Structure 1
Amino acid sequence: MRLLMLGGTEFVGRAVVEAALGRGWEVTVLHRGRHEAPPGVRTLLGDRTAPDGLAALEEDPGAWDVVVDTWSAAPRAVRDAARLLRGRAGRYVYVSSCSVYAWAPPAGYTERAPVVEGASADADRTDYARDKRGGELAVLDAFGADRSVLVRAGLILGPYENVGRLPWWLTRMARGGPVLAPGPRDLPLQYVDVRDLAAWILGAAEQGLSGPYNLISPQGHTTTGELLRACAEVTGGAAELRWTEPEVILGAGIEPWTQLPVWVPPGSDLHDALHSADVSRAVATGLRCRPVAETVADTWRWLRDIGGTAPRRPDRTDKGLDPEVEAKVLESAGSAGGTEGAGSAGGVGSTTP
């Protein structure tokens, strides 16, 4: 198989490239040159935000079995690439987002749920949901429904993360001491390890799949408790998880998802949208999700290998909770929610009722 990766040097793109190389694929990467491409690829340089950003691709005589694109800004960049490549590539895989669904999608929503209105393939940058939907429309326009794969990803975790969610939790656990752990601890979570996402994308290309797919783990693949215990254990076990009721956290003005990454309160529209998607279509076509302990351990290993500071995308908001705010909430909450050390009973691998 011959892959053209648009991007390919960070997080999702890099995981796709490494997975393709691992399968013996021929890989070409078009990127801006800000980061080194993985060894073993053929490199083309170009900035898709520039007027001549696709010049290297226009001049290259190559043809590919599949194009993978993770673009999340102005949809017209996807439009221009897809139009250029429609006669030179067999299939176009666009890594979109579950954010394209009209707010708020109900728990258990499938790929048939309504999508946001007002998106356009010709648009400049607007907002994340419409930009991603505009990218989908651009791909569909150039490649048609039968040669397009729309990967509607949810929460993505794993090595190379440049958003700041799992790296923040790992760094916080490594610091040790009492940690504000947002309850309930058995709250089910959905996410996908970036390597499992990459493996599914390549499998979709090999199978000749088309259409939209919700791409996250099955509901309840892990829980808040299992995730945070894994983080506490892998970083040395010095953290004490202080489980705190959602009402206390929200009453303190702490923002779910951003200040306490990954977590959103149960029963909210946000939880249904982020952690309650129906992913049976992806599972039926080969999605396999590794245990949360493996994702956490491999991310911690990568984080240590690069010196402990994860790269951050400039177009994403800061993640994490200020230590002073955390301390105040813990002091006011006391120990009503329970204290749990990393090595206590019910650790990683326990069964949640």
Structure 2
Amino acid sequence: MSSVLVLGGTSWVGGEVARTAVARGHEVTCLARGESGDPPDGVRWVRADRDDPRAYDEVRGRDWDQVIDVSRQPGQVRSAVDVLGPTTGHWTLVSTGSVYADQSGPLTEDSPVLEPLDGDVAGPDQYGEGKVACEQAVRRLGRHLIVRAGLIGGRGDRSDRLGHYVARFALADDGPVLVPGVADQPMQVIDVRDLAAWIVAAAESGTTGTVHGVGEATTVGELVALSAAVAGFAGEQVVADESWLRERGVEEWMGPRSLPLWLPRSHHGMGLMDDTRALAHGLERRSLSETIDATLADERERGLGRERRAGLSREDELELIAQLQA
């Protein structure tokens, strides 16, 4: 049994990491504020705000076998490394493919990254720069692993990105559904369960370096088609051109009034992240259909017609379809 400290653990990815570590027999502690919920059963919860200088008082001075950090804030990562780094055997930082300076084409772990954020707090538009700064802090340690994750999907996804299409197909019955005209856009989705299992296993084995944590290569068209099949959708898919959508204020990728997973060509590299190194380090992935199936079950539990963080409302979608077909 190893001692595992998850810095986070009450939100989505951190919670799945903590749940997986418990299932694998580790003694798990989560340090988090708890604003996103409670940690999984079987863990010790240290409630703390990492912006508070005293945040690590209850966990400092102990020899941790593994620390796994999901933070996006450089100040939090720097302070954790300073306090806990000297007594930690292996450190994992969950980073992102958004660190790359040029995301227009295929990406390897050696592709150039953005300039790191100088400050301690990264705003929403500084996500990539903030994560680069987090990576820099962790590289001061000897045994560290940086996992640059791509798009993550599955049960519990609070971004509502992957779930938009399968939930809309299930809600629409035989009615029309609007999809972006980007069928050939590259896409990769990794199930949160597979990512968490690999992160914990890699920490157990002492894996070091920088590695992509990504799903198998696919396209938006294949993902949308699979979402329709999982939902049993037999209605019409109404395809809208990118320029037509932009003219009507429909956003790309995520957020309110968006068509999720649609990316400009300048960011197609987010679906072209090389997985060679990850597979060599033991990453195992379930089929995308399994992930979408789990996502639909989660969407049904949360309510297909609920207000979403990503995607169009059904009313807005039908109005846009009416304009397109007029």
In structure 2, the gaps of 5 or more residues are: none
SS in 2 for 1:94: strand
Determine the structure 2 residue equivalent to 1:116. Answer: 114
Determine the structure 2 residue equivalent to 1:342.
none
Equivalences for residues 128-277 of structure 1 within 5 A = 128-141=127-140, 143-144=141-142, 147-176=143-172, 177-220=175-218, 223-237=219-233, 240-258=236-254, 259-265=258-264, 268-272=265-269, 274-277=270-273
Q: What is the DSSP-based 3-state SS (H/G/I as helix, E as strand, rest coil) of the residue aligned with 1:190?
A: strand
SS of residue in 2 equivalent to 1:159: coil
Show CA shifts across 1:176-199 (max 9, x none).
Answer: 021112234354311211111112
Question: Shift of the alpha carbon at 1:304?
Answer: 3.3
**2-side partners of 1:136 and 1:79: how far apart?**
10
Unaligned runs of 5+ residues in structure 1 are 313-317, 336-353
Offset of residue 251 of structure 1: 4.7
Match of 2:80? 81
Contact 1:164 1:310 in 2 (8 A): no
Distance 1:89 1:239, change over 3 A: farther
Residue by residue over 1:307-326, the C-alpha shift from the partner in whole angstroms, topping out at 9 and shown as x without a partner, is 568898xxxxx421244543
3-state secondary structure, aligned to 1:91 = strand
Counterpart CA distance in 1 for 2:177 and 2:63 is 52
* Native 8 Å contact 1:47 1:54 kept in 2: no
Alpha-carbon distance between aligned partners in 1 of 2:182 and 2:103, rounded to the nearest angstrom: 23
Between the aligned partners of 1:310 and 1:322, the Cα distance in structure 2 is 9
CA contact (8 A) 2:6 2:18 kept: yes
- Shift in alpha-carbon separation, 1:185–1:195, aligned structure 2, 3 A: same
| Superposed counterparts of 1:89-128, under 5 Å | 89-102=88-101, 104-120=102-118, 123-126=120-123, 127-128=126-127
Match of 1:304 among 297, 300, 306: 300
Please give the secondary structure, in 1, of the residue aligned with 2:204: helix
Q: Write out aligned runs for 1:31-70 (5 A).
A: 31-34=32-35, 35-58=37-60, 62-70=62-70
Q: Specify the code of the residue in structure 1 equivalent to 2:191.
A: D
Checking the alignment, whether the CA contact within 8 Å between 2:103 and 2:268 is kept in structure 1 is no
- How far 1:237 sits from its partner (Å)? 2.9
C-alpha offsets along residues 153-178 of structure 1, whole Å, 9 cap, x if unaligned?
11111111111212333432232021
- Secondary structure of the residue aligned to 1:56 is coil
Please tell me whether the aligned partners of residues 219 and 278 of structure 1 are also in contact (alpha carbons under 8 angstroms): no
Query: Structure 2 length as normaliser, TM-score?
Result: 0.87
2:186, 2:217 within 8 Å by CA — same for their partners in 1? yes
Segment drifting more, 40-49 vs 250-259: 250-259
Q: State the AA in 2 paired with 1:115.
A: V
Q: CA deviation at 1:234?
A: 3.6
Instruction: Measure, in 1, the Cα distance between the counterparts of 2:189 and 2:163.
Output: 15
Q: CA RMSD in A?
A: 2.5
